Amino acid sequence: MAVIVAVEGLRKVYKDGFEALRGVSLTIEEGEILALLGPNGAGKTTLISALCGITTPTAGRASVGGHDIVRDYRPARQMIGLVPQEIALEPFEKVINTVRFSRGLFGKGRDDALIERILRQLSLWDKRHSRIRELSGGMKRRVLIAKALCHEPRVLFLDEPTAGVDVELRRDMWQVVENLKQSGVTIILTTHYIEEAEAIADRIAVINKGEILLVENKADLMRRMGRKTLRIDLAAPVDAVPAALSDYNLERIEDGHALIYHYDTRGEGTGITRLLQALAAEGLGLRDIETRQSSLEEIFVGLVREDTA
């Protein structure tokens, strides 16, 4: 796949001397959904702002569609749609005018067919004559997306697209993002909701304290870093883990009614067969067993904690 966004050694030092980006390098491929994950203050918005020309990088380079974001600011910016975190819309304006106006700001001529297609894609067509203030929060977010799409960008940045949105609307928004991907738009989104990245991203970039900790295909990441746990519900509770089982580092939970075994899916063997035999040899009866894959959230928290340590 072709690279559409290339970032190389990007640094941003704010006026007060704070270094928000410490040499970020990253490539984004055409047609993918990349989720940028990071704790508060990690530098996500700064990175997006730099790529969109809102803030000037102190050092390093970046290009969008081959256009340098500083030297060729205009063509680079033409290729980008930005959906900001804050909802800033004119409350008394009608939906359709709001969107048409945004296209005009990019110096593009009126194109009613395109605007209709975008509004339909975002399920806003029926609301095109409504005033912004009459819309629900979820619809306002869709208007922000429509505005960001109306100059036909190839790369769309979504900064926290579902912050403060309820679960149902969040799923709705995921569908919208998926449809945009199908239409060929490359999407970079920042999010605090790790399940959001897990649900829709092709690749995950983790950023912490202005540095990229990793960028990896989501499925590979979960396979590589993921650990599995085996939960063993015992027929009768134990006061302590028997000494004969000490090699397994079992965790005793729920007053000894259950034991947790952590194992690595990358290892040669999981050790489960041996463990079950050892439990039987100790005379421990089992009521139930259950395995669970660690979530992206657990992987993420582990990564950031390691980086802070």
Ligand X SMILES: Nc1ncnc2c1ncn2[C@@H]1O[C@H](COP(=O)(O)OP(=O)(O)OP(=O)(O)O)[C@@H](O)[C@H]1O
Residue whose CB is less far from ligand X, 46 or 98: 46
Selected from 4, 34, 42, 148, the binder of ligand X by CB under 6 A is 42
Map residues 257-286 to x or -, x wherever contact with ligand X holds by CB under 6 A. ------------------------------
Cα(33)–Cα(213) distance, integer angstroms: 18
46 is a site residue for ligand X (CB under 6 A): yes
Which of 215, 219, 217, 173 shows the shortest CA–CA distance to 196?
Answer: 173
Measured CA to CA, the distance from residue 280 to residue 277 in angstroms comes to 5
Told to check if 308 binds ligand X by CB under 6 A, we report: no
Report helix, strand and coil shares of the chain as percent, to nearest 5: 40, 30, 35
CB of 43 to ligand X, least distance (A): 4
At its nearest, how many Å lie between ligand X and the CB of residue 20? 4
Both structure tokens of 23: 């040499």
Which residue's CB is nearer to ligand X, number 124 or number 201? 201
* Distance of closest approach, residue 44 Cβ to ligand X, in angstroms: 3
* Binding positions for ligand X, 53-82, rule CB under 6 A: none
* Angle between helix 112-121 and helix 137-149 axes, rounded to 10 deg: 140
**Residue with token string 């309820």:** 166
Smaller CB distance to ligand X: residue 44 or 103? 44
Is 44 an interacting residue with respect to ligand X (CB under 6 A)? Answer: yes
Contact between 153 and ligand X by CB under 6 A: the answer reads no
The answer to whether the CB of 263 falls within 8 A of the CB of 227 is yes
DSSP for 254-303, written as a single string: GGGTEEEEEEETTSS--SHHHHHHHHHHTT--EEEEEEEEPPHHHHHHHH
Smallest gap, in angstroms, from Cβ of residue 41 to ligand X?
4
Q: Is there binding between residue 45 and ligand X (CB under 6 A)? A: yes
Figure out which of the listed residues 10, 28, 43, 76 binds ligand X, where binding follows CB under 6 A: 43
Q: 10 Å Cβ neighbour count for 66?
A: 13
Residue numbers of the site for ligand X (CB under 6 A)? 14, 16, 18, 20, 38, 40-46
